[in-house]
Amino acid sequence: MKNKFRLMIILLTAVFPALAQDLTTVPDGGNKKASVSERIGITDVSLHYDRPAVKGREGKIWGQLVAYGFSDPGFGTSKAAPWRAGANENTTINFSTDVQVEGKPLAAGTYALFIAVEEQQATVIFSKNATSWGSFFYDPKEDALRVTVKPVATTEKTERLKYEFSDETENSATISLSWEFLRIPFRVAVDLPNTQWDSFQKELRSNKGFNANAWVQAINFAVANNIHLEEALQMSNYAINGVFVGQKNFKTLSAKAAVLKKLNRNPEAEALMKEALPMATMQELHTYGRQMLAAKQPAVALEAFQLNAKKNPNVFTTNMGLARGYSANGDFKNAAKYAKAALLQAPDAQNKTAIEGYIKSLEAGKDIN
């Protein structure tokens, strides 16, 4: 019995230390944990970092608390370490797709973010080692990218270090570190058309690829951005004839025609549109006519509006189409005639007011498009 008791004590002593874990507390030094993220195009960018405070050390942050350049931290293996760009463990940044930072390419992934700060410039470093604690073990061989940027002095004090996004466009944004009276910005941009195209290719291999409309969406995107046209042409054939997927209708045929036109295969495109137009719904015909107006092809637009009126006579949409079509071709008399017919069918006060303005313009011999 004594031997069994001793064995139990030994086992408990061995197991309990292995199970012991530190309880969750606030970060060392009161440095608050934070994260910030934003989508640039379809690329998700996120940062995770700890926020040290100035704590009355104005004038002692840059060049003192944060050493200039690369320095020996006195611990770890690095003898020339940059600043960890925050506090405690590594500041990390993640890109869900490939990006460009200050015009230089950087692959999708998670990186440690380091900064070597100087008085007139700063070197922003993206390291493949994103799991270390600070920069004590920094190794330049693990750098994925370095870019040089210019720090900006500010008049407004930032008590706690922060990262934020600004100057956003459809395909870019500036990410800035701000602390005390200094801001360190770097620009991130994405190749939105090709990134979007790559995303479409992946999605079309999922359950979304069993819908012909999804293929049409990708094809139309390629046409609008003038990219991957040969691939889009192959996809258009699949959207029309693919097993379980293909549909021969206005959307699929007109999408293929648009690709053919971009490839300067105009006779084939025109023949395909002649086949497609009779299949179109009222709204599809009207939209196609408006697109032809925008493309400065008024004769083609009028043909579409006339076909629509023949299939769907004397309704608001087709009368407005004829008004626009005749106006674009300089026949203001007929255009006014159909605008007046549409006025009686206007679905709401806003449309009625707009059409009244169109009629005045037409009677004055002015195009309403």
pLDDT for res 12: 45
Do 215 and 175 share a structural domain? Answer: no
Percent of the residues in the chain that have a pLDDT greater than 70, as a whole number: 92
Do 235 and 147 share a structural domain? Answer: no
Do 119 and 70 share a structural domain? Answer: yes
pLDDT for res 29: 61
Domain-embedded: residue 12: no
Do 278 and 157 share a structural domain? Answer: no
Q: Residue 68 to residues 83, 194, 198, 204: CA-CA distances in angstroms?
A: 8, 39, 41, 50
User: Distance between CA atoms of 147 and 186, rounded to whole angstroms?
Assistant: 8
Q: Which residue has the tokens 């030094």?
A: 29
Q: Give the end of a domain, one of 190, 224, 254.
A: 190
**What stretches in the chain show pLDDT beneath 70?**
1-30
Do 75 and 123 share a structural domain? Answer: yes
Do 246 and 149 share a structural domain? Answer: no
Report the half-sphere exposure of 334 (CA within 13 A, side-chain side): 12
Do 183 and 100 share a structural domain? Answer: yes
Residue type, 151: P
On whether the CB atoms of residues 292 and 301 are closer than 8 A, the answer is: yes
pLDDT for res 15: 46
Do 268 and 209 share a structural domain? Answer: yes
Q: pLDDT of 19-52, one tens digit each?
A: 445 666 666 666 789 999 999 999 999 999 999 9
Do 288 and 177 share a structural domain? Answer: no
State the residue range of the domain holding 316. 193-363
Do 152 and 34 share a structural domain? Answer: yes
Element (H, E) at 138: none
**Residue 233: closest CA among 195, 268, 271, 277:** 268
The DSSP 8-state label assigned to residue 206 in this structure reads S
pLDDT for res 212: 95
Pairing of strands 32-40, 92-95: unpaired
pLDDT for res 31: 74
CB-count burial class (<10 Å; 0-12, 13-18, 19+) for 216: buried
CATH of the domain at 356: 1.25.40.10
Provide the whole-model pTM: 0.80
Domain tally, the chain: 2
Q: How far is CA 310 from the centre of its chain?
A: 42
